[in-house]
Amino acid sequence: MMLRNHCHRLALSARLVAALLAALPIASHQRAHAQASGDPTAAAHTHAAERAIEFPDTPDYLSLTCDFHTHTVFSDGSVWPTIRVQEALRDNLDCIAITEHIEYQPHRDDIPHPDRNRAFDIATRAAANSELIVLLGSEITRSMPPGHSNAIFLTNANALLVDDVRAAFEAAGSQGAFTFWNHPNWTAQRKDGIARLEPLHESLIADGLLSGIEVVNEHTYSREALQIALDHDLAIIGTSDVHGIVDWDYHVPEGGHRPVTIVLAAARSAEGIRQALAERRTVVWHRNMLIGREAHVMPVVHASIRVTRAYYPGDTSVLRVEIENVSDAEFVLRNTSPYSFHKQGDLIMLPPHHTTVLDVKTLELLTGVRMTFEMLSVITAPGTHPVLELRVPVGE
């Protein structure tokens, strides 16, 4: 009798756990795409999870969130490829690349696999019933120079397993891959943490075999890598380079986030992403910073920040301005306009998915104001922050 009651309780517990797991919010990845409507402004994510990474589309492009550097047990990671897919769905990413080390295989005795495409094949099947785009990639893992590089949009990773390092890049190029330099500031290969080009890098860039650079890798940001990207017309890339569990590595339950590359694409497809990378239309989000060329990052900023209302309450000359931030980034602004604020100082915070109220002392009743801010949480070049201009019409 006691055993039967115990089994009954276990069965109830199992059903309860199953129900709770079924109820866990998973990002749905449903999007009303510009591909279907012909209007990129019609595209919008549908989010079922608060952790979902969200940036609005710009008037000209879709803002696709991508992580182009991830690992599983098929090289030196700690999880099965299906976990990478589940994490990406929870983060509502549009695209991930599975980029196992092509040469470095520390788990080969436990998980022997002569086919270097195996992790991608498993991840692709796991993502089959979702809208997540999964790319085949490999990490060309060499000493410096050139260090480590990721080739994505591969068709066969095995072809990169060659002795000569340049031949590996050429094999990637022959498949139409997009190749970028990984963690150029990695202290294991750059003891001073300074990214710098070697003649081999310059040769690969000149021959079109190296087209991007990680300005952000895992927890680090390299201003030197950003300058290299600007000087040599490379795509600005930010990646998680995750080996363990995203939630643990980036403290997602506590409000953290993995670094992502926001790709400004004309279509939500692998080819749309490839074209955007070729045209260098990327913005990196890392530790609440947006990093990118001004021509690319500012459209994302303008799509994120909206003045929803401005009016004079009562008979005062203090203008109340309501500013909505519809993105996942918290913007940090420094007031550079001629106006001061009734409640705040010159440092203004715009929390994500929140409306902030500024009481602006205009001294007289105006029909509109022009407000300018230095965007301290946005970087367009080393030590350079762009200016945000808000033209605020005054209503009732």
Answer whether the bond into residue 112 is a cis peptide, omega within 30°: no
pLDDT at 113: 87
Q: pLDDT by residue (tens digit) across 74-104?
A: 999 999 999 999 999 999 999 999 999 999 9
pLDDT at 29: 38
pLDDT at 12: 36
Amino acid found at 60: D
The domain limits of the chain are 25-287, 304-393
Cα separation, 225 vs 335, whole angstroms: 29
Q: Which of 9-23, 57-71, 138-152, 367-381 has the lowest mean pLDDT?
A: 9-23
Percent of the chain predicted with pLDDT > 70: 87
pLDDT at 396: 64
Report the SS3 class of residue 152.
strand
Contact assessment for residue 249 and residue 217, using Cβ atoms and an 8 Å cutoff: no
Contact assessment for residue 63 and residue 262, using Cβ atoms and an 8 Å cutoff: yes
Task: Say yes or no to pLDDT of 194 above 80.
Answer: yes
Cα separation, 335 vs 388, whole angstroms: 10
Q: Which fold has domain 304-393?
A: Immunoglobulin-like (2.60.40)
* Number of helices and strands in the chain (H, E): 10, 20
CATH number of 25-287: 3.20.20.140
Task: Say yes or no to pLDDT of 1 above 90.
Answer: no
| Ramachandran area for residue 342 (φ above 0: left; ψ -120 to 50: alpha; else beta) | alpha
pLDDT at 32: 35
Task: Say yes or no to pLDDT of 297 above 60.
Answer: yes
Q: pLDDT by residue (tens digit) across 353-382?
A: 999 999 999 999 999 999 999 999 999 999
Task: Say yes or no to pLDDT of 40 above 70.
Answer: no
Q: pLDDT by residue (tens digit) across 54-77?
A: 999 999 999 999 999 999 999 999
Q: pLDDT by residue (tens digit) across 216-250?
A: 999 999 999 999 999 999 999 999 999 999 999 99
